[in-house]
Amino acid sequence: MRKQLSGTAAARGCALGRARMRLPHRLDIEATEIAASDIDAEIARFHAAVDTVRTEMRSLRDRLQGALTPELGEVVELHALLLDDPELLSGIDTLIRTGPYSADYALRLQRNRITAVFEAMDDAYLRSRIDDIDHIIERLHAALHSRKTLLPGVSGDILVTDSVAPAELAQLQAQGVVGVVTAGGSPLSHSTIMARSLHLPLVVGANQALLKAKDGDVLLMDGSSGLLILEPDAGDLRDHHERVAQSRQERRQLNRLRREPSRTLDGIDIKLWANAETRDDASEAHTLGAAGIGLFRSEFLFLGRSDLPDEETQFRAYRDVVLAMTGRTVTIRTLDLGADKADRSGLVVRQEANPALGLRGVRLSLTHAGLLRTQLRAIVRASGYGPVRVLVPMVSGLEEVRTVRAMLEASIAELRAEGREIAPKLPLGAMIEVPSAALALPTFIGLTDFLAIGSNDLVQYLLAADRTNEALDSLFTPLHPAVLRVLHEVIKAANRRGIPLTLCGEIAAEPTLVPLLLALGLSELSMHPSHLLEVRQAIRGCNLAGLRAAAPALLRARNRAGIERWVAAHRVQPD
């Protein structure tokens, strides 16, 4: 019988398939004691499972490296790091010995102990790490019993589950799964970002789907609207096939835009940059006609290793990306690590009460001046192979910019004295992602050659809303009057001084928000390469003069609803 359900649209696309149910994970294992003579063998069995999962995670990282968003790389790396956490491993060893318990029951007890600590924390970000712990615990439990973590994939399945890890999505798609529906989740989560990069339809917040769907039911899902239909009728199927045909036509049209300009209807060119963290990303950006790399994340060189990359290692990585862009500018962001990201080197502070407000970004780099000096030298050397810009993250005010500029100029002088071939000029930019930087911009804008807005963090800090906290979904939004006004003021300040300004982050990759961003005065956007064509198409449907004329009405909006009405009224009709 036909049933219509709904959830929250997360990743666009429609899918038709058989529902594959995965019920909420419960590690409900009865207390099981073992004989004293079996303790050593049980510990060995547990550590063999750890080794198996380590191998799985290493293989996963290798397969995904450079192919997907940096957010996923950090999550996968965090999961790998948990396997080396002494709190997790030694605690289980102790439980096996003192119980003496089976490895399965020790795993359950240790999971409950650790999550109880996290649940008691005030910091929402740290509480959200419980999901990461559960994903690793599930992998370990599966390895103990030599079974696969995921259900066997069947081509044409739509997975219906309580939650899904970002790393799982790539595996599911490779197995032929055509869509995912979750009871929990957020349209701003890492899993959502991953699904969008994979072009895998995703609907989140569909609580009723777990209750009403059964294994084998035919399910129709629309990731653009959040609509779910169990056992669709003839009319539903006809509508679905029409949407699929339309989607294919749109994809063909998008592919024709690879070499077309990012130009508005009234003839104004908008510069589209690509975010990247590997040479593969740069190659994709080049193929899709990006103006250059607007944000090269250098963290990938530091993650997953117990030592720090030396100057030569960094130089070669930066040089290769510069060469891959064949003369187009590469913007290299200096290290943006903090306690919220996976790091094996011991560089970051592990026990910060609030990592988002802690020692991260330029603060961490300036605390380790030798580290920053090494990175700057490597970047300057890479400039001998093509145009390079240096971008400083998490700037909060004048002194940080002044200090980094002095260090950059010193590195340039040193390398010229050494006879190195370097660019005549290396532009220095600051990321505006901390509210104090936006407010204090007039005090240091003269020390910068360009600016970049980090919209993800700027929205989070302005609204005091953690974007990983599902309970704050309705609050965390760029469509807030305060966010728009801060963006507008930063854009005005940059335009007055003739300073190039790029907006990075998720909102730059959302085609429906292109008219809003252009209306506010932006003319440069940077995004993951997978979104370039859709955003280019949106730009080509915009009349810039009309949008700028409508900007005052946008800025007068008093709430999210008013801004959403403006966005709906200026929705782009693709060319």
d(CA 450, CA 445) in angstroms, rounded, equals 9
Secondary structure element (H or E) that encloses residue 489, with its range: helix 481-497
pLDDT for res 445: 97
For 255, list phi and psi in degrees, rounded to 5: -60, -30
d(CA 368, CA 335) in angstroms, rounded, equals 11
Dihedral of CA 364/349/371/77: which sign? negative
Label the pairing between strands 218-222 and 14-22.
antiparallel
Q: Pick the catalytic residue: 504, 531, 542, 570?
A: 504
Tell me the domains of the chain and their CATH numbers: 3-21+152-253 (3.50.30.10), 36-144 (1.10.274.10), 292-449 (3.20.20.60)
Kindly report, residue by residue over 287-313, the tens digit of the pLDDT: 999 999 999 999 888 876 678 899 999
CB 542 within 8 A of CB 572: yes
Kindly report, residue by residue over 10-45, the tens digit of the pLDDT: 888 899 999 988 765 555 567 788 888 889 999 999
State in Å, rounded, how far the first CA of the chain is from the last one: 40
What are the structure tokens assigned to 297, written together?
């994340």
CB 271 within 8 A of CB 536: no
Extended beta strands in 14-154, E state: 14-22
What are the structure tokens assigned to 27, written together?
């590690």
pLDDT for res 351: 57
Secondary structure element (H or E) that encloses residue 391, with its range: strand 388-392
pLDDT for res 211: 82
Q: Pick the catalytic residue: 79, 190, 240, 480?
A: 190
Dihedral of CA 397/399/402/403: which sign? negative
Is 504 annotated in the active site? Answer: yes
User: In b/e form, how buried is each residue of 437-469, taking b as 16+ CB within 10 angstroms?
Assistant: bbebbeebbeebebbbbbbbbbbbbbbebbbbb
Is 240 annotated in the active site? Answer: no
Smallest CA-to-CA distance from 333 within 405, 394, 391 is with 391
Please enumerate in sequence order all residues whose Cβ is within 8 A of that of 87, keeping only pairs 6 or more positions apart, or say none. 114
Phi/psi-derived region of residue 156, left when phi > 0, alpha when psi is between -120 and 50, beta in every other case: left
How would you class 482 by CB atoms within 10 Å of its CB: exposed for 0-12, middle for 13-18, buried for 19 or more? exposed
d(CA 488, CA 555) in angstroms, rounded, equals 9
d(CA 133, CA 379) in angstroms, rounded, equals 36
User: What are the residue ranges in the chain where pLDDT is below 50?
Assistant: 66-69, 123-126, 149-150, 339, 342
Q: Can you list the alpha helix ranges (DSSP code H) found in 163-216?
A: 166-174, 190-198, 207-212
Smallest CA-to-CA distance from 272 within 508, 548, 448, 71 is with 508
- Cα angle value 304/305/308 (rounded, 5°): 130
CB 336 within 8 A of CB 372: no
pLDDT for res 255: 82
